[in-house]
Amino acid sequence: MGIQIVKHGLLSKIINLVKDKKILAAEGTLLAILIFLATFLSFASQFFLTVENITNLVRHTSIVGVVAIGMTFVIISGGIDLSVGSVLGFSGMAAAILMRDGHNIYLAIIAGVLAGTIVGVINGFIIHKGKVPPFIATMGSMIVVRGVIMLISDARMVSGLPREFTNFSQLSLFGVPNLFIVWLIIMFLANFLAKRSLFGRNIHAIGSNVEASRLSGIKIQDNVIKVYAFCAFMASVAGIMMTSRLANGVPTGGDGFELDAIAAAVIGGASLSGAEGTVLGTVLGAFIMAMLRNGGTLMGINPFLLQIAIGTIVVAAVLIDKQKKSKR
Partner 1 sequence: MERTVIVRMEKISKLFPGVKALDNVDFSINAGEVHALVGENGAGKSTLIKVLMGALTKDSGAIYLDGHKIDITNPSQAKLYGLGAVYQDVMLAQHLSVGENFFLGKLPMTAYKMINWKVVYQEASKILENLNIKIDPKKLVKDLTVAQQEMVVIAKTLHENARIVIFDEPTALLANDETEELFKIIQKLKEKGVGIIYISHRLEEIFKISDRVTVLKDGKLVNTLNTSQTDENSLISMMVGRSARDMYSIGHTSKKAEIVLEIRKLTKKGIFENISFKLHKGEILGMFGLVGSGRTDIVRCIFGADIFDSGEICINGERAFIKSPLDAISKGIGLLPEDRKKQGLCLNLSVETNINLALYPEITAAGIINAVKERETAESFRKKIDIRTPSVSQKTQNLSGGNQQKVVMAKWLSKKSKIFIFDEPTVGVDVGAKAEIYKLFEKLTRDGNSIIMISSYLPEIMGVADRAIVISEGKQTGMLLREEYIGMTNKDEEKFLRLASGLKVS
List contacts with partner 1 (CB under 8 A): 196-199, 201-202, 204-205, 208-209, 211-219, 275-276
The Cα–Cα gap between 305 and 123 comes to: 36
The Cα–Cα gap between 255 and 236 comes to: 13
| 5 versus 210: smaller Cβ distance to partner 1 | 210
Residue 18 half-sphere exposure, CB side, CA atoms within 13 Å? 5
Shortest distance, CB of residue 226 to partner 1, whole angstroms? 11
Shortest distance, CB of residue 211 to partner 1, whole angstroms? 5
CA-nearest of 310, 269, 320 to 289 is 310
Report the b/e string of 268-290 with b at 16+ CB within 10 A.
bbbbeebbbbbbbbbbbbbbbbb
CA-nearest of 285, 280, 83 to 190 is 280
| 70 versus 295: smaller Cβ distance to partner 1 | 70
| 7 versus 328: smaller Cβ distance to partner 1 | 328
Shortest distance, CB of residue 214 to partner 1, whole angstroms? 6
| 178 versus 223: smaller Cβ distance to partner 1 | 223
Shortest distance, CB of residue 215 to partner 1, whole angstroms? 5
The Cα–Cα gap between 47 and 52 comes to: 9
| Backbone phi, psi, residue 61, to 5° | -60, -35
Q: Assign 172 to helix, strand or coil.
A: strand
Shortest distance, CB of residue 22 to partner 1, whole angstroms? 9
| 135 versus 192: smaller Cβ distance to partner 1 | 192
| 1 versus 212: smaller Cβ distance to partner 1 | 212
Shortest distance, CB of residue 20 to partner 1, whole angstroms? 9
Report the b/e string of 178-189 with b at 16+ CB within 10 A.
bbbbbbbebbee
